[in-house]
Chain A
Amino acid sequence: MGDIPGNSPLFASLGGAAQYHYDVVESLRRYFSPDSPDSLARLDAFPGARIVVRPAEYIAESDLRSSLAMLTSIEAAFQLDYRYRCRERLKDDLSRAFRAIHKRKPDYVSLEKVIFDAWSRHAPGERQLIGDLRGAFGFRNWLAHGRYWPPKLGRKYDFEYLYRLADAVYSTLPLCGLDEA
């Protein structure tokens, strides 16, 4: 299981990210359990207030936040790979395509419009995986831009799915330069 870029040491590996996520979920469950003294103390802290505790909503919110962290790590991995291939002048078709793009657009390149497109063309065996990533980044955009519109997504996204997608990406695609984050 490889290292993942662009995050704190806690998220330095996929396993670390999963451990963090499931620990938070378990903590929320225990905190809101009727047997939890912390939960009762919380009610005492707001005397007279009618507090409706919805642990499922807290857990769902936590899932969305962990999902966004996972997706930003994947984005960082592809951007680092792009820069590495351009800088190190690798000789494969994908790296050559990236250098041609970099020549035309030396600044920022779009992950979804440019980088995924090049991967689809030059790593055709992995087209399905890149297609799954494109779908997931529709979800990422909805999350990252404040969720102010009803998302039109082609499937249900959650942390578990995105973890499995990231695991498949890091295990299958020859991403370069990830240790430079």
Chain B
Amino acid sequence: MAVTEFDEFVKRQHNGAAGGDQVDWERERDEWLAHLEELYRKIESILSEYTSSGQINIRYKSIDLNEEDIGSYQARKMVLRIGRQEVDIVPAGTRFIGFKGYVEVIGSARKLSLVLANKDRHSTLPEAAIHGHVDPVTRRFINPVKHKRSNSELVAAAAKIEWVWRILPRPPERQLVELTRESFFQLLMEVTNG
């Protein structure tokens, strides 16, 4: 391999690591783990009448996660025991195509997922795909949302985002589903074929 090629490789990696966006990944990880605990509290609350009567049992297990930019860290997975059925609620990571977190709900019949979404986001598609379009002549992507805001405005907007847990539909559906008592019961029935 030529030295110049290696030089370019090192520069690329360095520029990538420096990044224009200066993300504080430790903070990202801590926020994601805090939201995960919020989700567990919400599920505990939804299931409280069943757990207090002993019909559903909840326990937690520690798991290792490894993500690009963040590295290795520990999180908890939730295990629901419903009679002979077991459902694992497993954190998968904090990066999932524009979402702030991603959790798998794995039952005996299938797997569905929950995502931590901007409260204003109701589709699996990124914001740009919903509001933007491709100019037919120049083939440039016109994204009115991005063009209207400066970088500092975007950073300020990101800090104000309210994150909520939503159910990710199975492809090809794109519409995110609100996480409510009813939709969570439906999700549990689906993953266990109940």
Residue B174 at the chain A interface, CB threshold 8 Å: yes
The stretch from A43-51, A71-79, A100-108, A160-168 touching chain B is A160-168
Residue A146 at the chain B interface, CB threshold 8 Å: no
Return the CB mask of B20-49 against A: 1 if under 8 Å, else 0. 100000000000000000000000000000
Residue A171 at the chain B interface, CB threshold 8 Å: yes
How many residues of B are counted as interface, with CB atoms below 8 angstroms from the partner's CB atoms?
Answer: 35
Expressed in whole angstroms, the Cα–Cα distance for A111 and B60 within the complex equals 42
Across-interface contacts of A29 in B (CB, < 8 A): 109-110
Whether A91 and B171, one on each chain, are in contact in the complex, defined by CB atoms closer than 8 angstroms, is no
Expressed in whole angstroms, the Cα–Cα distance for A167 and B68 within the complex equals 22
Expressed in whole angstroms, the Cα–Cα distance for A127 and B141 within the complex equals 13
Chain B: which residue is nearest A122 at the CB level? B140
Interface of B is mostly: loop
Return the CB mask of A157-181 against B: 1 if under 8 Å, else 0. 0001101110110011110100000
Across-interface contacts of A128 in B (CB, < 8 A): 98
* A14 and B172 contact, Cβ closer than 8 Å, known pairs A92-B140, A155-B68: yes
Residue A132 at the chain B interface, CB threshold 8 Å: yes
Whether A165 and B69, one on each chain, are in contact in the complex, defined by CB atoms closer than 8 angstroms, is no
Whether B92 and A174, one on each chain, are in contact in the complex, defined by CB atoms closer than 8 angstroms, is no
Residue B148 at the chain A interface, CB threshold 8 Å: no
Across-interface contacts of A168 in B (CB, < 8 A): 97-98, 125-126, 129
Chain B: which residue is nearest A174 at the CB level? B134
Expressed in whole angstroms, the Cα–Cα distance for A173 and B92 within the complex equals 26
Expressed in whole angstroms, the Cα–Cα distance for A108 and B20 within the complex equals 31
Q: Which of A14, A127, A155, A171 contacts B171 (CB 8 A)?
A: A14
Whether B92 and A156, one on each chain, are in contact in the complex, defined by CB atoms closer than 8 angstroms, is yes
Expressed in whole angstroms, the Cα–Cα distance for A141 and B97 within the complex equals 20
Expressed in whole angstroms, the Cα–Cα distance for A92 and B146 within the complex equals 19
Across-interface contacts of B67 in A (CB, < 8 A): 154-155
Residue A1 at the chain B interface, CB threshold 8 Å: yes
Whether A172 and B128, one on each chain, are in contact in the complex, defined by CB atoms closer than 8 angstroms, is yes
Of listed B67, B93, B129, B134, residue having the most chain A CB within 10 A: B129
Across-interface contacts of B109 in A (CB, < 8 A): 29
Across-interface contacts of B113 in A (CB, < 8 A): 160
A75, chain B: closest CB distance, angstroms: 18
Return the CB mask of B110-134 against A: 1 if under 8 Å, else 0. 1101000000000011101100101
* A132 and B129 contact, Cβ closer than 8 Å, known pairs A14-B171, A160-B171, A174-B140: no
Expressed in whole angstroms, the Cα–Cα distance for A90 and B136 within the complex equals 11
* A167 and B92 contact, Cβ closer than 8 Å, known pairs A95-B139, A155-B67: no
Residue A15 at the chain B interface, CB threshold 8 Å: yes
CB contact list, A74-100 vs B, under 8 A:
85, 90-92, 95
Whether B68 and A125, one on each chain, are in contact in the complex, defined by CB atoms closer than 8 angstroms, is no
Whether A129 and B69, one on each chain, are in contact in the complex, defined by CB atoms closer than 8 angstroms, is no
A152, chain B: closest CB distance, angstroms: 9
Residue B138 at the chain A interface, CB threshold 8 Å: yes
List the 10 closest pairs (A to B, CB-CB), nearest first.
A154-B68, A171-B129, A18-B171, A15-B172, A174-B134, A172-B129, A163-B171, A174-B141, A18-B172, A174-B139
6 cross-chain CB contacts under 8 A: A117-B12, A128-B98, A155-B93, A164-B124, A167-B124, A167-B174
Extra 5 A-B pairs, beta carbons < 8 Å, given A14-B171, A125-B128, A154-B66: A22-B171, A95-B139, A155-B93, A164-B96, A164-B168
